[in-house]
Amino acid sequence: MQRKFRLTRSEDFKRVRQTGKSYAHPLVVLVAQANDTSLHVRVGVSAGKTTGNAIQRNRAKRLIREAMRPLLGSLAPHWDMTLIARAALVTATLEDTRAALVYLLRRAQILPADES
């Protein structure tokens, strides 16, 4: 994912987590907040220790980033979001992860219903 599409500062992660709206799925949790200052959608990915050991957490984050990459062009602008991996993501496939992200983004009305 290109840098312009990423949340990088811890203050941004905290702001989105505290004031954003949360949407849950068994594989991933989406926390989204509208942002008028950014021209793009910015995404932060995290995986806590409940996801597994370091190898499993890193795999989960890579899986989320790769599943999110083709969706970035069709998302509504001016959103900051964090994607938080859950333990079940460790055994999920790329297709499962992409389907979970599409479901969450449609629920949050960030991805139009006709896109996938």
16-37: pLDDT as tens digits: 999 999 999 999 999 999 988 8
Report pLDDT digits (tens) over 38-68.
778 999 999 999 999 999 999 999 999 999 9
The pLDDT value given to residue 116? 54
Predicted pLDDT of residue 86: 96
pTM above 0.85, yes or no: yes
pLDDT at 29: 97
Q: At what angle do helices 54-68 and 94-107 cross, to 10 degrees?
A: 60
Of the candidates 67, 18, 19, the residue with the CA atom closest to the CA atom of residue 43: 67
How is the chain split among helix, strand and coil, in percent rounded to 5? 50, 20, 30
